[in-house]
Amino acid sequence: MEIIKRITSKTPKFFKKIRLVGLILASASAAVLATPVALPAGLVTVAGYVALAGGVMTAVSQTAVLKEPETDEEEWPVNNFIKKEDAAPD
């Protein structure tokens, strides 16, 4: 299965919630890392790890699909945007 097809397919509810949590973690840690005030080194290190974890959570949950097709011929949402090679030009 191609990654573009996975990303554009429907995502289950559980993984939508995981994606949201990952985005919240990543944005909160980015706010900590971007502060102009000098923060303890331990806090900055933890914020970096939380940002990494949030990014991974978001990326992995985005690629979860509701139903994987049985064959390559089944319709995917992305097929509406991809031109067929043998189609006549507009």
Which pLDDT tens digit goes with each residue over 33-63? 999 899 999 999 999 999 999 999 999 998 8
Closest listed residue to residue 23, CA positions, set 48, 57, 62: 57
For residue 87, pLDDT over 80 is answered with no
The arithmetic mean of pLDDT across residues 1-21, rounded, is: 84
pLDDT, position 63: 84
Task: Give the confidence band of 89 by pLDDT, cuts at 50, 70, 90.
Answer: low
pLDDT, position 34: 93
Contact between residue 90 and residue 21 where contact means Cβ atoms under 8 Å apart: no
**Buried b / exposed e along 52-61 (16+ C-beta atoms within 10 A):** eebbebbeeb
Contact between residue 69 and residue 76 where contact means Cβ atoms under 8 Å apart: yes
Q: What is the pTM of this model?
A: 0.67
For residue 77, pLDDT over 90 is answered with no
Mean pLDDT score of the chain = 81
The arithmetic mean of pLDDT across residues 3-30, rounded, is: 89
